[in-house]
């Protein structure tokens, strides 16, 4: 679901749900689509707020409501909060302060409640009550009889290329395809006549079928919700594909409507088979009124307790960060006289540590952060590819196409992945011959893991020796309505916009790197979730390279000069990409560097290598299988090996632990240890006194960073229902998703291996500017403002004039004074990394002990 769609839908949900006696099919379908998980096929894993359907409400109201309706666990459990308090991760001082601020008079009483009072924490959902009556009244487990075959047919229809034998009718809608298949066949999917007749006659509207199955109109909506949410994964993917058919490479015309019709037909079939054709509709036996699923949820004392706990947990960390920034400001730092290079990274919090190490490897450098698509939005067509990749944030629809050519790269194959092994006779020859090779291959995978065509390699997204059609030849040069390449003016606009947003408008270093990121991993269906979120879950290599090309273009520089940004010929841009899993870096178009710049570049590369070594070492802290005490290069090798190991379900930890988003100059955080927890977007308030640039900067922050943060939050607090559970039993379904077993529901969300180290706290966004300017920026669009006013993220303005913090609450900024607890210093980084302890279990109290507090770096 794109951001704008979310907002439109959110607005519409304000339409009341109390119209239960009438049944408006369109409306209910619309509602279902709104509430179902909106994850698209897993090849493009785009992080989003799992409960986006509730985003028009305040965070706490929303989660409690969603929890009550759908039975989700929407916050940490009470015992977990108490455990965190006990080990000091929720701080006493903050705890007391929050209670004092919120419950001034009754603080003591509430303290009791938070710490010791027993609450009934049982969460029974409103869903499922109606359909449960099949079992209670008719002794029929409808799910058991319908789901397996129904899922299999749906998966076969959607299948992108697992099966050797495709669904026979692919070019029609799901329902029409089934109709045709049934018509031209001697056998049927159905066991009984009636359902088959309904299908073939086409006489099968949802309302008509519901009349047979449920009987009374007032129960229809509840029934459909029960039914579709009994397999929210499959329904969700169908609804998402319906909304965005292009997310399937081999397109299918599936719709939630068809899905419901088919499921109802199978239900009739199952009921006819077990009960004969004469059975009473379900509602006839109902003695209770239909449940209003969306009725308000009464507030309880326990909810209040949870809110307080969540606040104290969040502020235990936030307060430390704010203290750190204050303390850091007062420390003197020498400012480099000349800059060896500048490097623009993605805002991604995984680059937070790398930037720190790059800065420490070469004191005379400067780093910046910006969303990793580098302000250039386009579709990319790899050489010989049949499809385009969208390389920009998900809600944006680019008008441009960039094509790769001239690499003459032949895609390598993994011979053991041949589908021949699955057929009978060829399978025989494969088993008796290549079977032994498979044994050998497995042995090598275990003891000598290395890159292979079977591993998703971030660097293979675009080949470094290929060329790109970046510059537009003529405005008529189009393909599928997309303009091939950018005109000079379009390039200039984008380069200017990026440079201004990060405040890099003068003092250019001789070499400026635009460093994208991607992630290589083996045996990992969720690999796309590790790639760049600002590039729609793809590596950002092309964007970095395109940006560097644009910024190096003579005519672009001329035009930039006219617009007041003067980059001399002494400066060259280099595109590159950092692999966040293997900690490797690759540079593009190095040949285009002048001799002089090549000398600089060679020097700088050493700094990058040193920084990556240190970064790898820092990351080993969280990996139990790697010895943290080894040398820097040893650590780096272990990290590289890990990224290509088939047996390693955690090639990296993705966005786990993300908590902060800092929009301001690097100076405010340089010298702080933020443990890879901060998204960092460079921004210089000095260049933007009226906040015009800030509006553009703030626009994607909620959606991208907030989306990532909340996806991690919800997958962490309820990994069973909102996350994907453990990866280990996952089975790849039709190349569109994963399920736990042959007959299971699709599992959207994040697997436990990605979220176990995550602290489920909301994002704290710190913006360095005057509160009124910040307010203006977030109010620029309702879909932006919603994130803040409804408290799905926290916002603090760091006022550059008085150096004070202003916390955004209920529509205004209020002064916030940190507790100023003393912070510790890190003197020897390597030793500091080596102190890490292995977690005992992946329960929150054990798993997050190594989520370190803020330190000052010496």
Partner 1 sequence: MEQLLQLFILIPFAGFFITLLLPRKKEKVISFTVFSTISVHLLGLVTFIVCWAINQFPILDVKHLTLFQTDNIEIFIDFYFDKVTVVYSLVGSVIALMVAVFSRSYMHREAGYKRFFSTLLFFFTGYNIVIFSGNFETFFVGWEMVGVTSFLLIAFYRDRYLPVKNALKVISIYRLGDICLILAMWMSHHLWHENITFLKLNDVALVTEHLAEHYWFGVFIAVMIVIGAAAKSAQLPFSSWLPRAMEGPTTSSAIFYGSLSVHLGLFLLLRTYPYWETIVPVQALIIFIGLSTSIISTLISRVQSTVKTQIAYSSAAQIGLMFIEVALGLHTLALIHFAGNAFLRTYQLLVSPSVLSYLVHDMFFNFKPSASVGNSSFKNSIYILSIKEWNLDFLLHQLLWKPFKWFGNRFDFLTSKGSAVLLVVIFVTGLLCYFFQQAIPVAIFEWLPELFAFIAFILILKTFTERGDALRAWFEVVSSQLFMALSIAMLNENFEHNHILMYLSGSVVAAIVGYVCLKKVKAIDGNIQLNQFHGYNYEQPTVGFIFLVACLGLVGLPFTPTFIGIDLLFSHIHRHEVVLIVLTALSFLFIEIAVLRMYARIFLGQHKKQYHPIAFKSS
SS (H, E, C) 492-507: HHHHHHHHHHHCCCCC
Nearest to 284 by CA among 156, 423, 430, 133: 133
Q: 780: buried, middle or exposed (CB in 10 Å: 19+, 13-18, 0-12)?
A: middle
By beta-carbon proximity to partner 1, the closer residue of 69 and 663 is: 69
Residue 182: phi, psi to the nearest 5? -65, -40
Judged by beta carbon, residue 155 or residue 550, the one nearer partner 1 is: 155
The residue among 274 and 776 lying less far from partner 1, judged by its C-beta, is 274
CB of residue 538 to partner 1, shortest distance in Å: 11
User: Shortest Cβ distance from residue 330 to partner 1 (Å)?
Assistant: 42
526 versus 553: smaller Cβ distance to partner 1? 526
Q: Which is nearer to partner 1, 91 or 730 (CB)?
A: 730
Do 338 and 361 contact (CB within 8 A), yes or no? no
**Residues in CB range of 616: below 8 A, 6 or more apart:** 583, 632, 635, 636, 638, 639, 640
Quote the least distance from Cβ 627 to partner 1, whole Å: 12
Q: Which is nearer to partner 1, 415 or 825 (CB)?
A: 415
In contact, 547 and 523? CB cutoff 8 Å: no
User: How far apart are alpha carbons 299 and 716 in whole angstroms?
Assistant: 24
What DSSP state is assigned to residue 398?
-
- The distance of closest approach from Cβ of residue 807 to partner 1 in the complex, given in angstroms and rounded to an integer, is 31
Residue 78 CB, nearest approach to partner 1 (Å): 9
Shortest Å, Cβ 420 to partner 1? 10
124 to 20, 70, 759, 803: CA distances (angstroms): 22, 9, 25, 48
CB of 735 to partner 1, least distance (A): 6
Of 454 and 819, which CB lies nearer to partner 1 in the complex structure?
454
Q: CA dist 554 to 378, 400, 468, 588, Å?
A: 22, 21, 17, 18
Please say which residue, 27 or 152, places its beta carbon nearer to partner 1: 152
Q: From the DSSP assignment, how many helices (H) and strands (E) are in the chain?
A: 30, 22
User: Residue 511 Cβ, how far from partner 1 at the closest point, in Å?
Assistant: 33
Asked if residue 162 lies in contact with residue 735, where contact means CB atoms within 8 angstroms, the answer is: yes
> What is the distance, to the nearest Å, from the Cα of residue 810 to the centroid of all Cα atoms in its chain?
28
The least CB distance from residue 445 to partner 1, in Å, is: 8
Please tell me the distance from the alpha carbon of residue 78 to that of residue 648, in angstroms, as a whole number. Answer: 33
Residue 838 C-beta: closest distance to partner 1, Å = 9
Is 422 or 831 the residue whose CB approaches partner 1 more closely? 422
Task: Return the structure tokens found at 37.
Answer: 């998980």
Contacts of 85 (CB under 8 A, 6+ apart): 92, 95, 115, 312
Least separation in angstroms between residue 625's CB and partner 1 is 6
Token pair of 749 as six digits = 């969300």
To partner 1, the closest distance from the beta carbon of 736 in angstroms equals: 9
Q: For residues 403 and 727, which CB has a smaller minimum distance to partner 1 in the complex? A: 727
Q: Tell which residue, 534, 586, 487, 538, has the closest CA to residue 375.
A: 534
115/742 Cα distance (integer angstroms): 44
Distance (Å, rounded) from C-alpha 672 to C-alpha 324? Answer: 7
Question: Which lies closer to partner 1 via its Cβ, residue 129 or residue 488?
Answer: 129
| Number of neighbours of residue 422 by Cβ within 10 angstroms | 12
Q: How far is the CB of 188 from partner 1 (least distance, A)?
A: 7
CB of 145 to partner 1, least distance (A): 10
How far does CA 30 lie from the centroid of its chain?
24
For helices 220-229 and 206-213, give the axis angle rounded to 10 degrees. 90
Q: How far is the CB of 288 from partner 1 (least distance, A)?
A: 20
Q: Which CB, 247 or 669, lies closer to partner 1? A: 247
Give me the residue label for tokens 């001799």. 595
CA 778, 780, 784 angle in degrees (round to 5)? 55
Is residue 469 within 8 Å of residue 487, measured between CB atoms? Answer: no
Query: Could you write out the DSSP letters of every residue in 698-746?
Result: HHHHIIIIIHHHHHHHHHHHTTTTTS-B-STT-EEETTTEEESSTTPPB
The SS3 call for residue 836 is coil
Tokens of 820: 């100023």
Side-chain-side CA neighbours of 294 within 13 Å: the count stands at 18
| Total residue count of the chain as it appears in this document | 858
Question: Cβ distance 229 to 748 under 8 Å?
Answer: no
Minimum CB separation of residue 300 from partner 1 in Å reads: 15
The CB-of-792 to partner 1 minimum distance in angstroms stands at: 21
Residues pairing with 672 in the sheet: 856
Determine the Cα–Cα distance for residues 182 and 188; give it in Å rounded to an integer.
6
Interatomic CA distance for residues 646 and 648, integer angstroms: 6
Q: Closer CB to partner 1, residue 137 or residue 185? A: 185
**Nearer CB in complex with partner 1: 384/408:** 384
Nearer to partner 1, 405 or 720 (CB): 720
Nearer to partner 1, 42 or 63 (CB): 42
Instruction: Identify which of residues 73 and 96 has a Cβ nearer to partner 1 in the complex.
Output: 73
As given in the structure block, the two tokens for residue 552 are 């190096």
Minimum distance from residue 617 beta carbon to partner 1 (Å):
20
Q: What is the 3-state secondary structure (H, E, C) of 89-110?
A: CCCHHHHHHHHHHHHHHHHHHH
Using the minimum distance from each CB to partner 1, give the nearer residue, 164 or 591: 164
In whole angstroms, what separates CA 173 from the centre of its chain? 30
């Amino acid at each position: 679901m794109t951001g704008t769609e979310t907002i439109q839908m959110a607005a519409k949900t304000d339409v009341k749900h109390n119209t239960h006696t009438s049944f408006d099919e369109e409306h209910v379908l619309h509602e279902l689509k709104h509430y179902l998980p909106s994850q698209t096929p897993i090849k493009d894993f785009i992080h989003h707020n799992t409960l986006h359907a509730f985003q028009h409400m305040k965070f706490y109201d929303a989660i409690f409501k969603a929890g009550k309706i759908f039975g989700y666990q929407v916050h940490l459990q009470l015992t977990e909060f108490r455990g965190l308090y006990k080990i000091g991760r929720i701080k006493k001082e903050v705890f007391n302060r929050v209670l004092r601020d919120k419950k001034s008079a009754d603080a003591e009483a509430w303290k009791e409640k938070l710490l010791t009072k027993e609450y009934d924490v049982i969460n029974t959902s409103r869903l499922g009550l109606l359909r449960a009556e099949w079992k209670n009244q008719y002794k029929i487990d409808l799910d058991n009889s319908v789901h397996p075959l129904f899922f299999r047919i749906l998966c076969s229809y959607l299948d992108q290329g697992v099966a050797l034998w495709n669904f026979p009718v692919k070019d029609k809608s799901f329902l029409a395809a089934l109709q045709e298949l049934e018509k031209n066949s001697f056998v049927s999917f159905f066991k009984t006549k009636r359902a088959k007749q309904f299908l073939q006659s086409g006489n099968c509207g949802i309302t008509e079928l519901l009349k047979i199955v449920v009987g009374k109109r007032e129960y229809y909506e509840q029934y459909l919700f029960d039914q579709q949410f009994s397999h929210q994964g499959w329904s969700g993917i169908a609804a998402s594909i319906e909304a965005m058919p292009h997310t399937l490479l081999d397109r299918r015309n599936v719709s939630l409507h068809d899905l419901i019709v088919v499921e109802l037909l199978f239900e009739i079939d199952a009921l006819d088979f077990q009960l004969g054709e004469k059975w009473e509709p379900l509602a006839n036996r109902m003695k209770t009124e239909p449940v209003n699923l969306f009725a308000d949820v009464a507030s309880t004392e326990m909810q209040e307790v949870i809110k307080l706990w969540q606040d104290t947990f969040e502020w235990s960390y936030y307060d430390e960060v704010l203290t750190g920034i204050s303390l850091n400001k007062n420390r003197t730092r020498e400012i480099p006289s000349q800059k060896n290079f500048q490097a623009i990274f993605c805002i991604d919090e995984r680059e937070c540590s790398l930037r720190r190490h790059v800065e420490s490897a070469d004191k005379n450098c400067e780093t910046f952060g910006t969303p990793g698509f580098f302000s250039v939005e386009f579709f990319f067509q790899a050489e010989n590819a049949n499809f385009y990749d969208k390389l920009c944030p998900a809600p944006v629809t680019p008008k441009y196409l960039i094509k790769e050519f001239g690499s003459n790269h032949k895609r390598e194959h993994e011979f053991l992945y041949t589908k021949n092994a699955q057929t009978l006779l060829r399978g025989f020859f494969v088993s008796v011959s290549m079977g032994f090779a498979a044994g050998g291959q497995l042995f090598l995978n275990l003891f000598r893991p290395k890159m292979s065509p079977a591993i998703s390699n971030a660097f293979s997204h675009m080949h470094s020796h290929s060329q790109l059609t970046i510059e537009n030849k003529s405005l008529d040069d189009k393909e599928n309505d997309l303009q091939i390449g950018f005109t000079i003016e379009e390039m200039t606009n984008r380069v200017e916009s990026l440079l201004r947003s990060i405040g890099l408008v003068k003092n250019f270093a001789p070499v400026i790197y635009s460093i994208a990121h991607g992630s290589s991993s083996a045996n990992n269906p969720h690999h796309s979730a590790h790639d760049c979120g600002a590039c729609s879950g793809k590596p950002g290599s092309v964007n970095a390279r395109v940006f560097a090309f644009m910024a190096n273009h003579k005519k672009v520089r001329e035009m930039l000069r006219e617009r007041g940004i003067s980059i001399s010929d002494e400066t060259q841009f280099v595109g590159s990409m950092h692999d966040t899993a293997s900690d490797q870096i690759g540079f593009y178009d190095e040949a285009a560097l002048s001799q002089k710049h090549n000398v600089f570049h060679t020097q700088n590369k050493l700094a990058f290598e040193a920084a990556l070594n240190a970064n790898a070492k820092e990351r080993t802290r969280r990996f139990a299988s790697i010895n943290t005490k080894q040398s820097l290069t040893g650590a780096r090798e272990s990290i590289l090996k890990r990224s290509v190991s088939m047996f390693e379900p955690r090639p990296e930890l993705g966005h786990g632990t993300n908590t902060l988003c800092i929009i301001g100059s690097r100076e405010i955080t340089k010298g702080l240890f933020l443990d890879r927890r901060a998204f960092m977007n460079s921004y210089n308030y000095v260049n933007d006194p009226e906040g015009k640039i800030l509006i553009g900067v703030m626009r994607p922050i909620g959606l991208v960073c907030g989306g990532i943060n909340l996806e991690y939050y919800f997958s962490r607090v309820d990994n069973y229902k909102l996350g994907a559970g453990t990866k280990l039993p996952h089975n790849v379904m039709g190349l569109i998703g994963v399920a736990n077993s042959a007959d299971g529901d699709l599992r959207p969300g994040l697997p436990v291996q990605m979220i176990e180290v995550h602290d489920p706290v909301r994002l704290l966004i710190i913006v360095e500017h005057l509160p009124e300017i910040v307010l203006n920026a977030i109010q620029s669009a309702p879909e932006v403002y919603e994130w803040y006013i409804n408290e799905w993220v926290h916002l603090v303005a760091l006022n550059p004039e008085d150096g004070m913090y202003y916390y955004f609450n209920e529509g205004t900024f209020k002064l916030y004074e940190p507790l100023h607890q003393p912070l510790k210093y890190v003197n020897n980084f390597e030793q500091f990394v080596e102190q890490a302890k292995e977690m005992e279990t992946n329960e929150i109290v054990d798993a997050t002990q190594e989520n370190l507090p803020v330190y000052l770096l010496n």
